[in-house]
Chains A and B, each alone.
Chain A
Amino acid sequence: MKLKNIHIWLFFVVMLMFSSACHTEYCRENMYIQAVLKLYNYQSQSQPVNISGVSVYTMDINGNYFAKLPIDTVTSTLRLVLNPESDTSRYRIVSNYINNEELVVVHKNTPEFVSAECGCRVKSIIDTAYVANLSFQDSISIVNHIVDDVYENENIQIFLRIGE
C-alpha cells in the first residue's frame, strides 16, 4: 500500500466520526410491566370469558380506589399493574357476574434501572394470589410467576362458576 493513500484513509476516518455523532437517544425497551390475568368458566376452560363488562381497580388496604386498569377485550385479558412499592397488590374486580371481588396478589419486586434513556421499571415474581370473596370463584391458578415486559404467557387464571 502506498503512502499517498493516506488522504483517502483520513477521509474515511472523518466521515465515520460524523456518522457516529448522529444517533438518537430514545428508549427502545418496554417499560410497562404487567401481569396477565384471564377469567375462565370452570366448565369450559379452553376459552376465556368475555370481559367487556369487567372493570378492575387498584386499591389500598382500606379499600380506597386509586385507578382503573386497562383491559384488552379482544384477547379477553386483564392487565394487572402490580404495586411497585409494596409486596402486596389489591384490586377490586367489578362486573355483572363478579360481585365486587377483591383480588390480592402477593409478590416480590425487583426494581431495575434500564438505561438513562428509559429510566426505571419494577419487575416482579408472584408468590400468591387469592380472591377474598368466593361468591363466583371456583379456583385460581398461578400459571407463570414471572411478571416482566413479555405478555405472551398468562400469569393468573381465575375459574368462575357462572351460567349454572
Chain B
Amino acid sequence: MRMRIFRYFCVLVSSLVLVNSAVNAAGTDFETWNKTESKKLYGFSVYADLVGPVMTIVSDKVADFSVGADVDLYHAAYPTFEMGYSAYDATEDYHYALLQPEDYSYKCSGTYYKIGVKFNMLNGYRSKKTIPMLYLGAKFAFSPSHFEIDNVALSNEFWNLDKSVSVDGKGVVKWAEFAFGVRYPVSKHLFLSLEGDLKEFATKKAFDGDIKGGGKMSVHQTYSPGYGDINGGHWSVKYTLGLFIPTKEVKGKK
C-alpha cells in the first residue's frame, strides 16, 4: 500500500513536469521542423516507463522495467506492443491480514507482454510530424511468471496439525487492459506521456506448484508481473519518456 501511494505521488509530481514541459516545447525551431504533408505513416515511437526504475531503486520489495513501441497511422491509430519484467515481494503486504509463520514469504517474478492499439482523440494536426495525444486504447496482456511461496501455514486445529509448506512453480496470467492517457512532444524527437490503465478479466486459473519435500499444490496466483495484485486495485499508472522517429519526407513535397 505504501509503495503504491509513493508511486502515485511520483506520477503526480512528474505529471506537473509534463504539463510544464509541454508549454515550453512550442518553440519556433520545433514548429518549422514539425511541418509535413498529410500522410498515412507518420513515424515510429519507442518509450520506457520512468516510475518502475525509480521504484526499483527506492524499494527492495519491487523491481519493474518496461518498454514499448507504437506506430503512428494517420495521427489517429497507434498499434502498440509493450513488454517488461517485474519482480515482486508480496510478503509484507499481507502479513498483517493473515496469521502466517515468521519466515513466511511470497515472491513472484517474470516477464509480461501487451499488444493492442491506441486511438488519438485530438484531431486537426495532419500537417505536423509529431502531435499531442489524448488517447484511449485497449490491450491484450499476458505474463508467464514464476512464483515462490515459502512456509505458508497448513494448520488444522481439529487434527492437532501445525505445519507449514513451501511451494514453487510457474503460471501464466492473461488479462485485458484499457488505457487512457496524454502524450506530449517536448522536443523534436522526445515526448512524455502519462497513462492510466484499467486491468480487467484476469484469468483465475490455478497452477500446479511443487511442494518442497514432495507433492503438488494447486496455486492461485495473487500477484502477476505487469498486473500487480490480482485481487486488489485494478488501476495502474505509468509515466513514460519516449523517442519519436518520423518517416522520411518525400523530396519537394515539404
Contact = CB atoms under 8 A, between A and B. Distances in A.
Interface in B226-254: 229, 231-237
Contacts of A51: none
Interface string A73-109: 0000000010111000000000000000000000000
Nearest to A83: B159
A119 B11 contact: no
A66 B163 CA distance: 16
Interface in B1-19: 1, 4-5, 8, 11-12, 15, 19
Contact of A25 (B97, B121, B181, B217): B97
Contact of A21 (B4, B100, B181, B218): B4
Contact of A84 (B159, B216, B222): B159
Interface string B162-193: 01010100000000000011100000000000
A19 interface: yes
B123 interface: yes
B162 to A, nearest CB: 11
Given A9-B182, A84-B159, A84-B161, A16 B149 contact: no
B233 A23 contact: yes
Range for the number of chain B residues in contact with chain A: 35 or more
A134 interface: no
A25 B158 contact: no
B158 A81 contact: yes
A21 B94 contact: no
Contacts of A116: 90, 93-94, 98, 106, 222-223, 231
Contact of B235 (A16, A27, A85, A122): A16
A115 B165 contact: no
Interface string A3-19: 10111011011101111
A132 interface: no
Given A25-B93, A111-B218, A18 B159 contact: no
B137 interface: no
Range for the number of chain A residues in contact with chain B: 35 or more
A13 B232 contact: no
A3 B219 CA distance: 47
B194 A10 contact: yes
Interface string B142-154: 0000000100111
Nearest to B125: A3
Interface string A103-143: 00000001111111111101000000000000000000000
Tell me what chain A mostly uses at the interface: helix, strand, loop, or mixed.
mixed
B134 interface: yes
Contacts of A21: 1, 4-5, 8, 233
Contacts of A20: 4, 233-236
A119 B156 CA distance: 13
Nearest to B169: A113
A1 interface: yes
Of the candidates B149, B163, B181, B218, the one having the most CB atoms from chain A within 10 angstroms of its own CB is B218
Interface string B199-232: 0000000100101000111111011000001011
A110 B161 CA distance: 16
26 contacts: A9-B134, A10-B15, A16-B235, A17-B12, A17-B237, A20-B233, A21-B5, A26-B97, A58-B158, A66-B159, A83-B156, A84-B156, A85-B159, A85-B161, A110-B218, A111-B217, A112-B219, A113-B217, A114-B220, A115-B222, A116-B93, A116-B222, A117-B98, A120-B153, A120-B154, A122-B154
Question: What 9 pairs between A and B have smallest CB-CB spacing?
Answer: A20-B235, A20-B233, A116-B222, A116-B94, A17-B8, A112-B218, A113-B219, A81-B158, A111-B217
Given A10-B194, A81-B158, A84-B156, 13 more contacts: A3-B122, A16-B235, A20-B4, A21-B1, A23-B233, A66-B159, A81-B156, A111-B165, A115-B231, A116-B98, A116-B222, A119-B100, A120-B154
